[in-house]
Amino acid sequence: MRVLGIESSCDETGVAIYDSEQGLMAEELYSQVALHARYGGVVPELASRDHIRKVLPLVDKVLRAAGPREAAAPVDAVAYTAGPGLVGALLVGATVAQSLAAGWQVPAMGVHHMEGHLLSPMLAADRPSFPLVALLVSGGHTLLVDVQAHGHYRVLGQSLDDAVGEAFDKTAKLMGLPYPGGPQLAKLAEEGDSARYNFPRPMLKKPGHDFSFSGLKTSVLLTWQSSDQLPQTRADIAASFQEAVVDTLTTKVKRALQSTGHTTVMVAGGVGANTRLREALAGMCDDIGANVYFPPMRLCTDNGAMIAYAGWLRLQRDGLHADYYAPVRARWSLEALT
């Protein structure tokens, strides 16, 4: 079985082919970062137009890379991100996927973007097994999920305001770092002293697994405004902010492991690329005898491989004749999946 995956929920056009025997056969990714940089954030209409320009050339590239095949169609199904995300951007991937699938007479499969992220650690050589706790940390979501099995997700906690990636991006922006801020802030933090500022660890005193990052963001803003704003101060604020976020996420993951009784945690989404977060989670898991898994670095942020893989898992479970249609939607709960 071979699945073509198309991701277009935000500002990356990702296309890949996953094959049951050969694994990932081809991957292509086009990032629109340069296009949106001058606006300091993603402009939805520009994102949709750029997906239109890029998606078919990338499909062509992955099909060529995968090579010819002795079958009526080059793939057995076409998976596309149906949501959550920017509706105009999603429509581009969904329309192209549905058209290709109709032409090849294979199923078009609507995939949940966060399920794609959630399953991406399974694409690494060392893969976790269910049940487990998943920490999904991206620009749009901060979710702690109890994963009993593939398709069985219970959201334990989520952010009540900003997503963690969004908090990284906004904090970076207020200190004048170029877009996209998250990775820039993380890089700057390497030169900073994380103990110089003791920023709040939000929601740690409250029971439950929810998060909130707006108070932390305000605290950083006030500190920045009243500081000398010299390069070392900026690095120290970056490091102290990152440490507060990492500490909060690590503590909440530990609590989620304790309350579910699971001994495995898997991390996914753009912020999963943060090396300090990886280090802190690995240390905490080591202390309590749990195991932690991450996707390969390049698959932390949005990509087509996770969509092809999530589509392939459903195809394997439900067969070629199941109804995989899903309309595009800006909001879509992971718990609605089965």
Q: Which is nearer to ligand KG4, 25 or 307 (CB)?
A: 307
Q: Which is nearer to Zn ion, 13 or 138 (CB)?
A: 138
Q: What single DSSP character describes residue 255? A: H
Q: What single DSSP character describes residue 178? A: P
**Window 76-135: residues binding Zn ion (CB under 5 A):** none
Q: Which is nearer to ligand KG4, 29 or 96 (CB)?
A: 29
Told to check if 138 binds Zn ion by CB under 5 A, we report yes
Stretch that binds ligand KG4, among 14-22, 254-262, 268-276, 284-292 (CB under 6 A): 268-276
Q: List beta partners, residue 117.
A: none
* Distance between CA atoms of residues 168 and 203, nearest Å: 17
- The listed partner (Zn ion, ligand KG4, none) that binds 180, CB under 5 to 8 Å by sort, is ligand KG4
Told to check if 334 binds ligand KG4 by CB under 6 A, we report no
> Given candidates 110, 269, 295, 304, which one binds ligand KG4 under the rule CB under 6 A?
269
Least distance from Zn ion to the Cβ atom of residue 9, Å: 7
Q: Which is nearer to Zn ion, 41 or 200 (CB)?
A: 41
Residue 184: which residues within 8 A CB-CB, separation 6 or more?
172, 177, 178
* Distance between CA atoms of residues 90 and 9, nearest Å: 5
Least distance from Zn ion to the Cβ atom of residue 244, Å: 23
Give the containing element (helix H, strand E) for 29.
Answer: strand 23-31
Told to check if 250 binds ligand KG4 by CB under 6 A, we report no
Q: Which is nearer to ligand KG4, 66 or 82 (CB)?
A: 82
Stretch that binds ligand KG4, among 29-37, 70-78, 135-143, 319-327 (CB under 6 A): 135-143
Mask for 290-329, x = binds ligand KG4 (CB under 6 A): -----------xx---------------------------
Size of the site for ligand KG4 (CB under 6 A): 20
HSE-CB for 218 with a 13 A CA cutoff: 7
> Given candidates 168, 224, 241, 332, which one binds ligand KG4 under the rule CB under 6 A?
168
* Beta pairing, strands 142-149 & 77-83: unpaired
Q: Which is nearer to Zn ion, 163 or 257 (CB)?
A: 163
Told to check if 302 binds Zn ion by CB under 5 A, we report yes
* Distance between CA atoms of residues 164 and 175, nearest Å: 17
Q: Exposed e or buried b for every residue in 224-262, given b needs 16+ CB within 10 A?
A: beeeeeeeebbbbbbbbbbbbbbbbbbebbbbbbeebeb
Told to check if 303 binds Zn ion by CB under 5 A, we report no
Told to check if 142 binds Zn ion by CB under 5 A, we report no
Whole-Å CA distances, 157 to 181, 210, 253, 331: 25, 4, 10, 17
Q: Which is nearer to ligand KG4, 43 or 73 (CB)?
A: 43
Query: Could you give the angle at which helices 164-174 and 231-260 cross, rounded to 10 degrees?
Result: 170
Least distance from ligand KG4 to the Cβ atom of residue 53, Å: 20
* Distance between CA atoms of residues 12 and 168, nearest Å: 19
Told to check if 183 binds ligand KG4 by CB under 6 A, we report yes
